[in-house]
């Protein structure tokens, strides 16, 4: 008479996969293969993107270089690895890493043989007069103090006649003055030959860190004053 077993029960009808196709997996193996293929393609895409970023970073921003030789002792040693800032190409004067200045350690193509690369320190700037007397460097007649030098590597104390640094050129020298082929012997470095400014040493582990930039006793406006003086003389 009474069906107590069906009390409070409702007939929702027959459950069918057609009601919601989004939750149906018709063929598990096929779906697995498709999912694996999509994930593989995404991984390849990400790898290509990462490689592209590294390539762009190396072309436009920074690149690693290896030090060969002892011309920059005691600051740099043979076999050390450096990171070179290539943003100097853009000549951003408002920030130190965007332009070249005295004391910068630069990497450039050797003017006498552009297939070779050298690493030296910038000593003379465009428009300045550089003279060396008994190993002492004079910039526009004023002695340049260089705290980063080691007397052990500076015993020869040469004398070199004064010469004017041309515009868009730099006078460079190694810190190991007794064993360095630099502007004293083969001349100035054209600005276009300088392809980077070394700023960080990442190998060897004991010397990891930023490179020392020289602190000098010359006023920063000396270069511009000298250029103005030259222009005034030419006008006369």
pLDDT tens per residue, range 177-203: 999 999 999 999 999 999 899 989 998
Collapsing DSSP states into helix, strand and coil, what is residue 194? strand
Residue of 7, 40, 71, 147 marked active site? 71
| 125-166 pLDDT per residue, tens | 999 999 999 999 999 999 999 999 999 999 998 999 999 999
Q: Could you tell me the pTM of the whole model? A: 0.70
Collapsing DSSP states into helix, strand and coil, what is residue 38? helix
- Residue 187: per-residue pLDDT: 95
Residue of 86, 120, 197, 223 marked active site? 120
Q: How many residues does the chain have?
A: 236
Radius of gyration, alpha carbons of the chain = 33
| Contact predicate 127/167, CB 8 Å | yes
Q: Which residues contact 210 (CB under 8 A, 6 or more apart)?
A: 199, 200, 201
Burial class (CB in 10 A: 0-12, 13-18, 19+), 108: buried
- Residue 212: per-residue pLDDT: 80
| 1-55 pLDDT per residue, tens | 445 555 555 555 555 555 555 555 555 565 566 667 777 777 777 677 676 655 5
Burial class (CB in 10 A: 0-12, 13-18, 19+), 139: buried
Q: What average pLDDT does the segment 197-215 reach? A: 87
Mean per-residue pLDDT of the chain = 79
| 49-102 pLDDT per residue, tens | 676 655 555 555 778 899 999 999 999 999 999 989 888 766 666 666 678 999
Residue 171 banded pLDDT, cuts 50, 70, 90: very high
Distance CA(120)–CA(134), nearest Å, equals 21
For strand 160-164 and strand 169-173, is the pairing parallel, antiparallel, or unpaired?
Answer: unpaired
**Catalytic residue check, 71:** yes
**Catalytic residue check, 204:** no
How does DSSP assign 56-101, residue by residue?
HHHHHTEEEEE--SSTTTTTS-TT-EEEEE-GGGG--TTSGGGS--
- Residue 14: per-residue pLDDT: 58
Distance CA(63)–CA(218), nearest Å, equals 31
């Amino acid at each position: 008479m009474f069906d107590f077993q069906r009390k409070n029960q409702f007939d929702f009808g027959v459950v069918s996969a057609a009601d919601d196709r989004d939750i149906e997996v018709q063929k598990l193996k096929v779906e697995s293969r498709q999912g694996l293929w999509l994930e593989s393609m995404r991984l390849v895409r990400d790898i290509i993107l990462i490689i592209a970023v590294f390539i762009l970073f190396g072309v436009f921003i920074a690149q690693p270089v290896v030090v060969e030789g002892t011309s920059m002792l005691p600051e740099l040693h043979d076999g050390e690895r450096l990171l070179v800032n290539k943003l100097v190409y853009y000549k951003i004067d408002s920030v130190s890493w965007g332009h070249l200045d005295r004391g910068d350690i630069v990497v450039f193509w050797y003017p006498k043989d552009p297939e070779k690369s050298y690493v030296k320190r910038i000593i003379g700037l465009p428009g300045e007069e550089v003279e060396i007397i008994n190993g002492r460097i004079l910039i526009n007649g004023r002695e340049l103090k260089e705290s980063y030098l080691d007397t052990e590597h500076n015993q020869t104390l040469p004398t070199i006649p004064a010469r004017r640094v041309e515009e868009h050129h730099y006078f460079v020298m190694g810190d190991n003055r007794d064993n360095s082929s630099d502007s004293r012997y083969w001349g100035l470095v054209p600005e276009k030959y300088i392809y980077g400014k070394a700023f960080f040493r990442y190998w060897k582990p004991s010397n990891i860190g930023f490179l020392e930039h020289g602190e000098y006793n010359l006023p920063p406006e000396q270069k511009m004053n000298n250029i103005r003086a030259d222009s005034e003389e030419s006008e006369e």
